[in-house]
Amino acid sequence: MTTLFEPLTIGSLTLPNRIIMAPLTRMRSKQPGNIPHELNAEYYAQRASAGLIISEATQVSQQGQGYPATPGIHSPEQVQGWKLVTDAVHQAGGRMFLQLWHVGRISHTSHQPDGALPVAPSALAAENSGTFTADWQETPILLPRALEIDEIPGIVADYKAGAGNAKAAGFDGVEVHSANGYLLDQFLQDSSNVRTDHYGGSIENRARLLLEVVDAAIGVWGKERVGVRLSPYGEFNGMKDSNPIKLFTYVLGELDARGVAFVHIIEPRSSHAGMQDESLEDTPQTASLFRAVVKTVLISAGGHTPDSANEAMENNSADAVAFGRHYISNPDLPERIKNLAPLTPYDRATFYGGDTKGYTDYLPLNEKVA
Catalytic residues: 182
Q: Do 264 and 229 form a contact (C-beta atoms < 8 A)?
A: yes
What does the longest C-alpha to C-alpha distance in the chain come to?
A: 63
In DSSP notation, 139-208 reads: EEPPPPEEPPGGGHHHHHHHHHHHHHHHHHTT-SEEEEEE-TTSHHHHHHSTTT----STTSSSHHHHTH
Burial of 331 (0-12, 13-18, 19+ CB in 10 A): buried
Q: How far apart are CA 229 and CA 236, in angstroms?
A: 14
Q: Using alpha carbons, select from 80, 78, 44, 85 the residue that is nearest to residue 58.
A: 78
The amino acid at 369: V
Neighbouring CB atoms inside 10 A of 257's CB total 10
Strand partners, 178: 230
Q: Which helix (H) or strand (E) holds 263?
A: strand 262-266
Neighbouring CB atoms inside 10 A of 137's CB total 11
Q: How far apart are CA 264 and CA 182, in angstroms?
A: 15
